[in-house]
Amino acid sequence: MSNSHLSRMRGKEFLQRAFASEQSCLLAKLRSSDRIIHDGDRGEVNEQYFIDVLRLYLPNRYTVHKASILDSEGQISESIDVVVHDRQYSPSLLDSESHRYVPAEAVYAIFECKPKIDKGYLEYAGKKAESVRRLKRTSVPIPHAGAKPYPPKPLFPIIAGILAIEVDWKEGFAESFQKCHAELTELQKLDCGLAVDGHLFDTFSGDGMFTCCKTENALVYFLFRLLNQLQSLGTVPAIDWNAYAAQLSK
């Protein structure tokens, strides 16, 4: 074996081992929360673990919070465990210590955090996704130094997913899971999911097919696939703040 080939093999082995340790650490934290008696308290702790790891890996143009989503007509989504939203061009609104509203236009992705992924939790996460995707999003022309402003940016589909410790189906995200997923409505369909014990799925390939994987590197594999999908969305649309202001006038 040549030295260059050996170096490449060792490099691959290093990456696999290093990122596998990230997954092991998160899994240990999530499982240690079992000692918390109350389900609500345990859920909040696990949500924060997922928020922390997303903040660690996502660039600074994104921010991650638990939030509700608000549109220019005053419609509000259900409370969402994890919201990936713009931090460069869009503020969050009515912030308190533990809660905020995020304008619908600023949302890139939403996730529900559950102890496991099964049919019930899949349907629950789908309904949460629908409560966000049904909201109205505005988009206005973007001024720049040239003679004419850029036209309004087309709205991209909001990514929706589910995050958990484990998956309930013995075969992971294979046929049984995909049959359940097919029963969701278009606004409820999830684009991705992660079970930190080593399973993931996404539909980011663009052909409607599932990419499924079982690996000790599921966490970071999932994060890199998510990063690539977020990059493909570009920036969020410019918000029509006058549409929001109009709701506040008599």
39 part of the active site:
no
Catalytic residue among 71, 86, 105, 114: 114
Domain of residue 111 covers 3-246
Stated pTM of the model: 0.90
pLDDT tens across the length of the chain (250 residues):
454 554 565 777 777 777 777 777 777 777 777 776 667 777 788 899 899 999 999 999 999 999 999 999 999 999 999 999 998 888 888 887 778 999 999 999 999 999 999 999 999 999 999 999 999 999 999 887 777 888 999 999 999 999 999 999 999 999 999 999 999 999 999 999 999 999 999 999 877 789 998 888 888 899 999 999 999 999 999 999 999 999 988 6
Catalytic residue among 86, 105, 112, 197: 112
Catalytic residue among 81, 130, 191, 202: 81
81 part of the active site:
yes
Q: How crowded is the C-beta side of 8, counted as CA atoms within 13 Å? A: 4
Overall domain count for the chain: 1
170 part of the active site:
no
